[in-house]
A and B are shown apart, each in its own frame.
Chain A
Amino acid sequence: MQKITRDVLVEKAVSLLENGSVSCVLGWKKGEFDYDITPAVFESKEELVSDFIFDDFCGANFSKYLVQKTRKVEGKILVFLKPCDTYSFNQLLTEHRFDREKVYAVGIPCEGMVDIGKIKAITGDGISSIVCGDTIKVNTIYDESFDINAKDVLLERCINCKSKKHVAYDELIGEEGEVIESNRFDEVARLEAMTPDERFAFWQNELSKCIRCNACRDVCPACTCEKCVFNNPKSGVENKAPANEFEEKMFHIIRAFHVAGRCTDCGECSRVCPQNIPLHLLNRKFIKDIDSFYGEYQAGAEVGSRAPLVNYTTEDIEPCDVFERGND
């Protein structure tokens, strides 16, 4: 389905690596299965040619890796950024989390990534091979094969894609897109319209699935703290296992609050959640509230913008009035 091919990216990476402009490349690498693509650092032409992948499973957002990587690597790092990744990239720059001089960012177009969960819902377990394309061809170890329309199994975040436009890059491959009017807040609005009891039941059900694997935190480009409060015995919220309902709720409330105003809605949290908890609905609630209370704000749209929670106006809405406005 992707318009840009793996070979174009490899060629670009190899040329930059060989002329010495960059010393390593952040890219996608095939994992054990066709669908578990993992982020990887490539340091040679050979590695790139043999292992670099770009297909419909390359959802991973590399922005976060730059925080640690730029501190360790001599020379520049080449990073490939899909439109949604560029927002995280900018947000991290706003927060001074890495040195822009040490990065060479190549913007690449994205046609949307697919959700292996949705594919498995169709094919069942035991996938032996997947060939990407507008029609995804899946074979299983039970000798079954499936032809699936890629558009039918897009990741939630891609169905509700907010932007095909790159907001940061040194170089762009392919065509530039536009910011999109998405319906990403519809689901939040649907929840808001429920009764408190229904909402409570919904979240109780969802959050109780949490196994505290911390994948959402570990993948989140806004969660780059040197020391996470959940790992800090002094923070008062340290906890490493899902002890009970309260812990599950608190973890997710605090996590959402910590990234509120900084979350770019990249959707990585929901993509990686092994329990399929719709975590993006927590973050989007904050984004929706911020938009309606304090005016539209897209984190990462520009470097240096003042996040809503470190800003104020004297006319801001009172906390007692948020319920009337929030459920419009």
Chain B
Amino acid sequence: MQRIGVFVCWCGSNIAGTVDVVAVAEALKKEPGVVFSANYQYMCSQAGQDLIKQAVKEHNLTGIVVCSCSPRMHEATFRKTAAAAGLNPYMVEIANIREQCSWVHKEMPIGTEKAIILGKAAIAKVNLNVPLTPGESPVTKRALVIGGGIAGIQTALDIADAGFEVDIVEKKPTIGGKMAQLDKTFPTLDCAACILTPKMVDVAQNEKIRIFSYSEVTEVKGFVGNFDVKIKKKARYVKEELCTGCGACTEKCPMKKVPNDFNLNMDTKRAIYIPFAQAVPKVATIDPDYCNMLKNGKCGVCSKVCTAGAIDYTQKDEFIEEKYGAIVVATGFNPISMDKFDEFAYNQSKDVITSLEFERLTNAAGPTAGKLLRPSDGKHPEKIVFVQCVGSRCDACNEKGKEYCSKICCMYTAKHAMLTRDKYPDTDVTVFYIDVRTPGKNFDEFYRRAVEEYGVHYIKGMVGKVSPEGDKLMVQASDLLDNKQLKIEADLVVLAAAIEPDKSARPLATMLTASMDTNDFFTEAHPKLRPVESPTAGVFLSGACQGPKDIPETVAQAGAAASKVIGLLAKDKLTGNPCVAHSNELMCNGCSSCERVCPYGAITYEDKEFRMPDRTTQIRRIAVVNPAVCQGCGCCTVACPSGAMDLKGFASEQIMAEVDAICK
């Protein structure tokens, strides 16, 4: 039997004005288990807390009920008070007789009666409380960053800066991501490579950072502080440790017709390649789909020219298993496919390109060495039409596009238009827009400069149709402000394609049990207050995997994610919330119902041997809750058909005792 102390707070006149606190204290004294009852003006004050501590000692209290304001206000206060008096803090229950009683009822008798009932419910619950101790788990002081774009790079650098080890897993042969493909960045127009490649070098040189390039995460087990991750290092047929990145092989390889994905297939590379000059790691990779040696054993040129002896045609995929305390997802984005947008003739004409392709066309390291030339005939385009919102902001029933605004297109289109006019003043540039969205530092100024200083024609309206006619493109569009339909002859059409999360994100989310929205963007733990954390503890979000973002935003979020990771890794042990689910293994059916509703993946199953009353043994599948991962929602307790699953601190018996006390 508990020895319960009841402490009724006046809260000045806030409670005492409508509730007869003396009567409440008297009435509750008669409840089962109650051995002490008192009232005081301000229970939360130092004097009030001392009164509680003293009573705990004098009356050997095992449980405390405070009738006061909302537990959301002072539950933590009174738990600390209890702990200071040597009582388990979870032996405290609050009866909310202010917000949910004295403040909402006007008449003293009614308020008093309800306060007594609320007090009784709290007493009934405390009678069934048991001391709870938060679980502890150790923290592996190493972080994993999945994705080596600017988001992953920045997160890794920031974590490493704090002195923790970081591994980057990047599926491409080099880190750098989309930013490495860009030419200039808005709104400052500094060159992307100039600001990105030094960071890539920093990553390569940082002793705390390991790069697993050309690698993928294939399995994630464990939980916050203790993830076990399996990484597949794909065979690149080149020994990374030997390759000097001299590039001799990439010049001599006879297989020249390999589409160059780094340049969005607008030119070709060799079957052995280094994606670009500043690649990190600067190591060659053989494309097994094109290499003659790998396909039919004939050739071997690269092996012959490699003075370092780095070529290894027999290399196999390698699996690495590593432990991590935290995982950062930085899987980034891709432009959506333009295949379904027949009206823009993307598949019919080489001169209809996406903005990312335009980036490569204007990049000094791109297929045209930075000269803006039409992909079809290499001529200089005299009239360029940019189309915004291609596939963005579509209706939910529209299968071609995405419902959301891709956020970055307005600005990069303004950038492209401006840069074109700057370099080629003779080129006429028209942008078709629905809205120009420029909320960002110096963004609107930038857009206005494109219009006012560089003479870019912005037309409010959408392009309805692009049709190749001869070597020109006929663009049919509407000018909504002039209420006209326009037919423009253009040399080049640039589509601001919507962006979508990388395809690797969905299977990764499943592995991580991290939740995603319907667009496959990772969901944050709270949209406003916890924007860089996934609801799954220990998993953090960096960059466009969480939603469309430009570079400054990505870098800011990457830093924020890093600071969260550092905060986690700085701890030696994690203390959990003790109000977690637990399964009674004698009653558990192993049916998986609980596992299916758990949003955190906190429940796993194991086969356990049971000794039966008849001295035989039985092996049964039972659920095991990982208290470090469980957040205590209690969803599993209701999904469980046998009632084996219960929630500490909110046990079924406790809640039913409250129901009984209220209904008595």
Residues of chain A within 8 A (CB-CB) of B605 are 96
Q: How many interface residues does chain A have, given as a range?
A: 20 to 34
Residue B587 interfacial (CB < 8 Å)? yes
Of A232, A258, A310, A314, the residue contacting B587 (CB under 8 A) is: A232
Q: In the bound complex, do residue B621 and residue A71 qualify as a contact, i.e. CB atoms below 8 Å apart?
A: no
Max count, chain A CB within 10 A of own CB: residue among B605, B621, B641 = B641
A225 touches B641 (CB 8 A): yes
Residue of B nearest to A257 (CB): B641
Tell me if A235 and B652 are in contact (CB < 8 A). Answer: yes
> What B residues does A190 contact at CB under 8 A?
none
Contact A227 B621 (CB under 8 A): no
Chain A residue, CB-CB nearest to B659? A236
CB of B593 to closest CB in A, whole Å: 5
The answer to whether A96 and B592 touch across the interface, beta carbons within 8 angstroms, is yes
Q: Could you say which of B593, B619, B653, B656 contacts A307, with CB atoms under 8 Å apart? A: B593
- When C-beta atoms are compared, the residue in chain A nearest to B617 turns out to be A71
Residues of A within 8 A of B596 (CB): 306-307, 310-311
The distance in angstroms between the C-alpha atoms of A236 and B592, with both chains bound, is 23
Nearest B residue to A224 via CB reads B589
Q: Determine the residue in chain B with the shortest Cβ distance to A309.
A: B639
B652 x A71 contact (CB < 8 A): no
CB neighbours of B587 from chain A (8 A):
225-227, 232
Give complex CA distance A107, B73 in Å. 63
Partner of A97 from the list B518, B589, B652, B656 (CB cut-off 8 Å) is: B589
Identity of the chain A residue whose Cβ is nearest the Cβ of B622 in the assembled complex: A226
Residue of A nearest to B655 (CB): A236
Q: Is the pair B639, A310 in contact by a Cβ cutoff of 8 Å?
A: yes
A325 within 8 A of B: no
Tell me if B191 is interfacial: C-beta within 8 Å of chain A. no
B591–A97 touching, CB < 8 Å: yes
Given A258-B641, A306-B596, A309-B639: A226 and B589 within 8 A (CB)? yes
A228 at the interface (CB under 8 A from B): yes
Q: Are A71 and B619 neighbours in the complex by a CB distance under 8 Å?
A: yes
* A95 contacts the other chain (CB 8 A): yes
Contact: A95 with B591, CB < 8 Å? yes
In Å, the complex CA distance between A258 and B639 comes to 9
- A232, B584: Cα distance in complex, Å: 12
Interface residues of A in 201-230 (CB under 8 A from B): 224-229
Contact B618 A71, beta carbon cutoff 8 Å = yes
Find the residue from B588, B597, B620, B642 having the highest chain A CB count within 10 A. Answer: B642
Once bound together, how far apart are the Cα atoms of A121 and B586, in whole Å? 45
Judged by a CB distance under 8 angstroms, whether B590 is at the interface is: yes
- Return the contact of B642 from the options A96, A227, A307, A310 (Cβ within 8 A): A227
- Shortest distance from the beta carbon of B643 to any chain A beta carbon, whole Å: 5
B642 contacts A226, CB within 8 Å?
yes
Q: Does the CB pair A96–B590 fall under 8 Å?
A: yes
Residues of B within 8 A of A236 (CB): 652-653, 656
* B518 neighbours in A (Cβ, 8 Å): 314
CA–CA, A94 and B591, complex, Å: 8
With both chains docked as a complex, state the minimum distance between the C-beta of B300 and any C-beta of chain A, in angstroms.
49
Chain A residues near B52 (CB-CB < 8 A): none
B61 within 8 A of A: no
Quick check: is B616 within 8 A (CB to CB) of the other chain?
Answer: yes
B544 at the interface (CB under 8 A from A): no
B153 within 8 A of A: no
- Assess the A227–B652 pair: CB atoms within 8 A: no
Q: CB within 8 Å of B: which residues of A?
A: 71-72, 94-97, 224-229, 232, 234-236, 258-259, 262, 306-307, 309-311, 314
The 10 A-B pairs with the shortest beta carbon distances in the complex, nearest first, are A225-B642, A95-B591, A310-B596, A227-B587, A236-B656, A71-B618, A229-B643, A258-B641, A235-B643, A310-B597
A sample of 18 more A-B contacts (CB under 8 A), given A226-B586, A226-B589, is A71-B618, A71-B620, A72-B618, A95-B590, A95-B591, A96-B591, A96-B592, A97-B590, A97-B591, A225-B587, A226-B642, A227-B586, A229-B642, A234-B652, A236-B652, A307-B593, A309-B639, A310-B593
- What would 22 A/B residue contacts be, using CB atoms closer than 8 Å? A71-B619, A72-B618, A94-B592, A95-B589, A95-B592, A95-B593, A96-B605, A97-B589, A97-B591, A225-B589, A226-B587, A228-B642, A232-B587, A232-B643, A234-B643, A235-B652, A262-B641, A306-B596, A307-B596, A309-B593, A309-B639, A310-B639
